Structure 1
Amino acid sequence: MRILDFYPANCKNCYKCVRNCSVKAIKMIDDQAQIVEEKCIACGNCFLVCPQNARNIHSDLDNVTQALKRGKKIIISIAPSYLGVYEEPYKLITVLKHLGASAVEETSIGAAKVTELYKEFVKETNIKNVITTCCPTVNMMVQTYYPDLIKYLIPIDSPMIAHCKMIRKKYGSEAFIVFLGPCISKKCEAYGYQLSGILDGVISFEELDKLLELRNIDISTFEESYPDVEGNYTGKKYPLDNGVLSGMKEVVQENNFTPLSISGIDNLRGAFDALLSGDLSDVIIEANSCDGGCLGGPAIPKKSKNVHVRKTKVKTKVQSFKNKEYTNYSQDKTISYVRNFRNKHYEFLSYTEEDIKNILEITGKHGKADELNCGACGYDTCREKAISVLEGLSHPQMCMPYMRSEAEKISNIYFEYSPSIILIVDLDLNILDLNPAGEKAFNININNIRKKPLSSIMPVDDFKSVIETESNMVGRKLNLENYGLIVFQRIIYLPKNKILFGILNDISMEEMKKEQIINFKLNTLETADKVIEKQMRVAQEIAGLLGETTAETKTALLKLKKVVLEENESNG
């Protein structure tokens, strides 16, 4: 089951998640970020920085709600960081009871048990270095990226699992056990234990706040109450820097360890690299993946005060518990708190220098001088970015300098070689730029007219109109008689850039051809008119001749008829 992933979002050219993922467990497919499970250590940094809030985190809220409807006995183990996260933490306990919890216990009970087990482990084990295992992200980080350090991980359950085992033993199989805390990776840690019945759900403080908001519940309106079982001073300090090691001072000194409290993945990486190289030894490391420890967890509500305020609140509140011991749980010897870690080493594929060089060249990096290592793509170096492309985690177009160069190259080619006149002016109608086609048409050099008024080379009425109307002029014919040009003019208004972009297409030849065609038509009509007039004149002349001939013929026939009649009378 996928615990963590991203919802599809407007995820383009941002790469904040990649930049903030210390182990680069994110791949980009069709401009969508996806988590690579086998690389991920569930730190949650990618979700914290995502501007689209595209976090898709598995939630057990529905399961808890169904358990309430079925009348299950809900037992909540609440992380000790709640004392700093919430303004009125003890009112939160009342709210949890109001929501249906049968009992609320502090996870610090399990933390105190873990401290005891840690001390026993250090005393009884001849080990060179020690790394605490309360933080599931640290455990995943070591198993995935530093498998040679697994031998230094203390094979003891986390406080969450230890406490849930205690609760299960106390309340039996009918109880529905829920962990409530500031952590996302606890969901990953809990998954296997949920299948085995140790606990039933993990809810983050952030999820709880969304539920309260949905149900219109205001914590401040409730009375204070206290957890059914509270942890002691040792366990309550776990969310603080040095919180684990402060309960182990004597055993640490007896075994000649140097205690180190390290928070933050990058800081941990430095320490782990030093352990591998041998530069660091005889140390016991309190390891927390979040800067500020658990009080800097990724699932703390955004409205909570900053991490320094949270730390101060916790330090103040735990002082009253300095000498208090929990007595609610018997030291049941039948519960095993031992856990094992296994090698989950992520095998990075190896690529030849030629493969890497080919990818670098695709993005315009033909030598070391071209490798800017700007980090805009999310990778620290251009070389790492090239390898990620070969791994299928990214693509060449994620390189911002390369894409900008390509865009500028295309725009420059268009500007330089366009047959159209292209000019750029500011809103005061001063010339900012003119392309070579424009220089040729106006017979000027841009260097001689830059920052000079546009009116010095052409009419500006249309440009003024565009500024006044704040709308583009789609197209208009303009006769530039001084240059022997007729142009089709388009003017684009760019208010954000405070410029006007003019494109003038030379249509002089077309206009000349149009005029020639018109003249040809007029000449043709005139010629046709003359021909028709001449034909009419000829027709009239022919008609006149035909009329005379007909009259003469008629006279001759009449004379012939008279002669014939006279001959008939004389013979008769």
Structure 2
Amino acid sequence: MKNTTYEQIFNRLVKASYNGNLKQEIEAIQANGDATTQKYIYYAMGNGDPDKVVFQLDEDTSKAGHHPEASCLFDDIVRDMEGKVVIQDRNCAECGHFIDTCSYHNLIDKKEFIPLIDILKKREVPVFAIVAPAIIGQFGEKVTMGQLRSAFKHLGFFGMIEVALFADILSLKEALEFDRAVHTQDDFVLTSCCCPVWVGMVKRVYHTLIPHIMPSVSPMVACGRGIKRLHPDAKIVFIGPCIAKKAEAKEADIRDAVDAVLTFEEVKQIFNATGINPEEMEDIPSEHSSTGGRIYARIGGVSKAISDTLDQLRPHKPIKINAVQANGIQECKELLRSISNGEITANFYEGMGCKGGCVGGPKALLTPEIGAIHVNAYGLTANAPTPVNNPYVMELLNTLGIQDVDSLLEGESAQIFQRKF
């Protein structure tokens, strides 16, 4: 089994878990495996430091031609005195892109699904799949959100919620934050929505800009917290294209929101292992998000959603949103450096660590270009262009104890959407 991949072992363990013969399958894999196989099993089972996402399989990384450190824009992958590669936490933005650049496949991200399988099978605790806006089209060109909802229910999930609905809430909140913060041509803000790589860069490297970052959680965190307010015993599993979301879910001040993170790539493996084909599933429609919430998945989507929302909330505000986007890690780094040097060219800055936005995540199943086409098309099918026009948003806010839109900026009930940087 020397050539067996990490993904193949994960696939076998998932299938065995659902079939009730996990112990026997592990023994069979171990009987024909080597030391690397043992580590694959260990991390595929969700073991390892609970606060870490990426792990090295072999510390002896001094082999010629092995240069994962070259892929890190913040010089956070270094070599020690013995020539071994070390991943530092100093400036690491947890982007995960360097995993696939390692020619020796020595870096892997921990899987978080198998520990959930018993909970899903017993159905004693409600487990919700919350899906990133980038999911549309990833599992088949014609697969609907309703069919994906059926697929997750077949796996044992209680339900599936589109994070785009909570992106709508964050659009309202960040539009109000912009209105409160920007009063002159010299004022500017950085969005805190969506991308943990962008936020991580500000917090760890360009920390002088922290006063300008808007105090909002990401839509993932907002969704997890919102569901747990309504279902306190629920487990929340975020599903998206991003390894960095695994790290975000473990950050100390927001780790209450999400219990596990799966990538699109992992979900495809899970569907294959369990014989689930979303294209053959029943369509259970329940789409409540606006166009603005759905286009968060592609570059420029956050800026447009919040700008359109502001125009409706504060139509007479003299200063409109003038947005600039950074597309990919390199552009994020260059843009933040420019802002730090006083080169202010806009009043609203959006950064996406992956080129194309979330649709360009390292574990997406489509190219960013195709992913964006699906996201834009799905956005156009929404019944409301912005959250201001979306009756489901106000209904949800009222259910969460928030009586009106302006209360998103203050009050105890709105604290689930707040974050201090």
TM-score band w.r.t. shorter chain: 0.7 to 0.9
2:295 corresponding residue in structure 1: 237
2:350 corresponding residue in structure 1: 286
**Which structure has more strand as a fraction of its residues?**
1
Matches within 5 A, 1:416-565: none
1:384 corresponding residue in structure 2: none
1:99 corresponding residue in structure 2: 155
- The whole-number CA distance in structure 1 between the counterparts of 2:213 and 2:64 is 39
In structure 2, the CA distance between the partners of 1:21 and 1:198, relative to structure 1 (3 Å rule), is: same
Structure 2 residue 268 is matched with structure 1 residue 209:
yes
- 1:262 pairs, out of 317, 320, 326, with 326
Instruction: Answer whether contact 1:265 1:290 (CA < 8 A) is retained.
Output: yes
Per-residue deviation at 1:32? 4.6
SS of corresponding position for 1:180:
strand
Per-residue deviation at 1:258? 2.3
In structure 2, the CA distance between the partners of 1:52 and 1:89, relative to structure 1 (3 Å rule), is: farther
In structure 2, the CA distance between the partners of 1:207 and 1:33, relative to structure 1 (3 Å rule), is: farther
Determine what percentage of the aligned residue pairs are the same residue. Answer: 22
Instruction: Answer whether contact 1:74 1:177 (CA < 8 A) is retained.
Output: yes
- 1:188 pairs, out of 242, 247, 258, with 247
Q: Which has the higher contact order (CA 8 A, sep 6+)?
A: 2
- The whole-number CA distance in structure 2 between the counterparts of 1:240 and 1:329 is 25
1:377-407 CA-to-partner distances (Å, cap 9, x unmatched) read xxxxxxxxxxxxxxxxxxxxxxxxxxxxxxx
2:213 corresponding residue in structure 1: 153
- The whole-number CA distance in structure 2 between the counterparts of 1:107 and 1:255 is 30
SS of corresponding position for 2:396:
coil
2:76 corresponding residue in structure 1: 25
Instruction: Answer whether contact 2:355 2:368 (CA < 8 A) is retained.
Output: no
1:132 corresponding residue in structure 2: 191
- The whole-number CA distance in structure 2 between the counterparts of 1:6 and 1:329 is 43
Structure 2 residue 59 is matched with structure 1 residue 6:
no
Aligned residues, how many?
A: 336
SS of corresponding position for 2:289:
coil
Name the aligned partner's letter for residue 355 of structure 2. Answer: D
In structure 2, the CA distance between the partners of 1:34 and 1:221, relative to structure 1 (3 Å rule), is: farther
- 2:414 pairs, out of 332, 335, 342, with 335
1:111 corresponding residue in structure 2: 167
- The whole-number CA distance in structure 1 between the counterparts of 2:198 and 2:168 is 20
- The whole-number CA distance in structure 2 between the counterparts of 1:262 and 1:47 is 22
Matches within 5 A, 1:40-439: 40-70=92-122, 71-87=124-140, 88-90=143-145, 91-126=147-182, 128-134=187-193, 135-171=195-231, 173-192=232-251, 197-226=256-285, 228=286, 230-249=288-307, 251=310, 254-300=318-364, 304-323=365-384, 325-327=390-392, 329-331=396-398, 332-333=401-402, 334-336=413-415, 337-341=417-421
Instruction: Answer whether contact 2:175 2:307 (CA < 8 A) is retained.
Output: no
Query: Looking at CA atoms only, which structure, 1 or 2, has the larger radius of gyration?
Result: 1
1:412-465 CA-to-partner distances (Å, cap 9, x unmatched) read xxxxxxxxxxxxxxxxxxxxxxxxxxxxxxxxxxxxxxxxxxxxxxxxxxxxxx
Instruction: Answer whether contact 2:137 2:374 (CA < 8 A) is retained.
Output: yes
Name the aligned partner's letter for residue 3 of structure 1. Answer: V
2:11 corresponding residue in structure 1: none
Task: Please identify, of 308-317 and 274-283, the stretch whose mean Cα deviation from structure 2 is larger.
Answer: 274-283
Per-residue deviation at 1:62? 2.6
In structure 2, the CA distance between the partners of 1:246 and 1:257, relative to structure 1 (3 Å rule), is: closer
In structure 2, the CA distance between the partners of 1:2 and 1:248, relative to structure 1 (3 Å rule), is: closer
SS of corresponding position for 2:130:
strand
Name the aligned partner's letter for residue 48 of structure 1. Answer: D
1:444 corresponding residue in structure 2: none
1:51-88 CA-to-partner distances (Å, cap 9, x unmatched) read 33333223321332132244221111111100032212
Name the aligned partner's letter for residue 77 of structure 1. Answer: I
Name the aligned partner's letter for residue 308 of structure 1. Answer: E
Per-residue deviation at 1:219? 3.2
- The whole-number CA distance in structure 2 between the counterparts of 1:194 and 1:249 is 28
Aligned-residue Cα RMSD (Å) equals: 2.4
